[in-house]
Structure formats: C-alpha cells, structure tokens
Amino acid sequence: MNYEERIKELISKNNKLGRANIKLNQTLKERNATIHNQTHEINKLKNNLIEIRWHGRGGQGAKTASLLLADAAFNTGKYIQGFPEYGPERMGAPITAYNRISNSPITIHSNIYEPDYVVVVDDTLLESVEVTAGLKEDGAIIINTTKNYDYLKNVLNGYNGKVYTIDAREISMEALGKYFPNTPMLAAVVKVTGIMTDEEFLNDMQGSFKHKFAKKPEVIDGNMKALQLALNQVNLIS
C-alpha cells in the first residue's frame, strides 16, 4: 500500500469513527431524555404534582389568574409555582402563564411543556396557537368559548382528552357588568382540577378580594358572584 492509499484509508476510518460517535451521542441524549421524562413522571405521581398552562391575551388577566390560583393553593397547604412566560406583553398579544401545584416541595424550575391541564382564556387563540402542544391525553383543556363541539374538535388537532367549556363573557357581564374573563376561568380551573374544594376556594378568594378591594364592596360581591356562577357552569363536552 502506497502513501496516498494509506492516507485515504486513515481518512475513511476517521470518518467512520466520527459517524459512530455522532450516533452514540444521539443515543445517549435520547436515553438521558427518556430517563429525565420517566423520573419527572415518577416524581409527579409521588408528589401529586399538577402542571397547568394558561393561554390568553395581554390585558385579559391570565397572568393574574395564575398567581391567584397559586395563592389559593398555597393557603390550603400546597407547594406552588405561578409565573408568566417572560417576554414583551402588549395589550391583545398572546401570553402564556404557568402553575405547578404539589403536596411536596417543587424542584423543577422551567416552563411547562407537558401540562396536565391547559386553560384557554381567549378562544381566538385556538386558530393561531397550538394550545394542545404536549397536553396529556389523560388531562383536560378548559376553554372560554361558546363554539360548538365540531368546531372545537377540528381546531384542537385531534386531541382526544377531556374538553371543558365555559362562557366567561356571559358570567362576568352578569356578575360584574364588564368583561373580565380571568375570574370565571380561575373558578373553572379549580372545579376541573379538584385541587381544593369549592368551599376552601370561595373562602380564600373572599379574604383575598376583601384585602384587595377593601373600599369597593360592590367589586367584592361581583367577583364572588362570578366565581360561584363559574363553579356551576363548567361543561364537559367530550
């Protein structure tokens, strides 16, 4: 074998080794990702961890609702996280917020990519945002909408889990005289997830509203009415 042939042979071997290393690294990454996901699922089952992702538009109060949910769960003895996805928040622009609620300390600090529940505060997002991305089939999606079943199944990209709807506009207009969808949606989440009893939730929110709106009793009454109506008007459509 001459010098040039030897060089070609060595180059060929190096290329094969390089490809083998790439495959090995990919396999290790996939294996580590699988282990991570399995560990996460085991910890979720062990700690009764519930993960919730909110989709809304700037100005609708989705972020505020996620924080109120976290406070209410905390007051029942749960460990909680409530936080928005950071980025520019403009009136009407799509926003995302998250909750983690658990019986044990929460050690995860990231956005939620495989939620147990998804909350859609504005149904116009259904055609522009993939709201069911990562949503577990044994979870549920809760949508503020009056759209019919066929429309929803079509825009939810074949999602086969439970679908709940509520008319937050009608409820907030009746109770508050204005359109504030976050209050009814907050109650809908509590009803569907069962993270606390209706009584615990209403008592906690009564105290929260009294503190926040101490000089506006009519606002307290309106918000409490919205919560009570919402708890009774969540519909399971599939």
Q: What is the pLDDT along the chain (238 residues), one digit of tens a residue?
A: 565 666 566 567 666 766 766 666 676 566 555 554 555 555 554 458 999 999 999 889 999 999 999 999 999 999 999 999 866 567 778 999 999 999 999 999 899 999 999 999 999 999 999 999 999 999 999 999 999 999 999 999 889 999 999 999 999 999 999 999 999 999 999 999 999 999 999 999 999 999 888 888 889 999 999 999 999 999 999 8
Q: What pLDDT was estimated at residue 211?
A: 87
Rounded Cα–Cα distance for residues 87 and 94 (Å): 10
Q: What pLDDT was estimated at residue 212?
A: 85
Rounded Cα–Cα distance for residues 186 and 176 (Å): 15
**Which among 128, 126, 170, 180 is positioned nearest to 146, based on CA atoms?**
170
Superfamily name with CATH number, domain 48-236: Pyruvate-ferredoxin oxidoreductase, PFOR, domain III (3.40.920.10)
Q: What pLDDT was estimated at residue 85?
A: 87
Query: What residues contact residue 100 under an 8 Å CB cut-off, 6+ apart?
Result: 49, 50, 51, 52, 80, 81, 106, 108, 112
Q: What pLDDT was estimated at residue 48?
A: 87
Retrieve residue 105's tokens: 């300390």
Q: What pLDDT was estimated at residue 75?
A: 95
Question: How is residue 91 annotated by DSSP?
Answer: B
Helix 198-212 / helix 217-231 crossing angle, nearest 10 deg: 160
User: What is the number of other CB atoms lying within 10 angstroms of the CB of residue 80?
Assistant: 19
DSSP 171-238: HHHHHHSS--THHHHHHHHHHHH-SS-HHHHHHHHHHHHHHHTTT-HHHHHHHHHHHHHHHT--EE--
Q: What pLDDT was estimated at residue 196?
A: 96
pTM for this prediction:
0.80
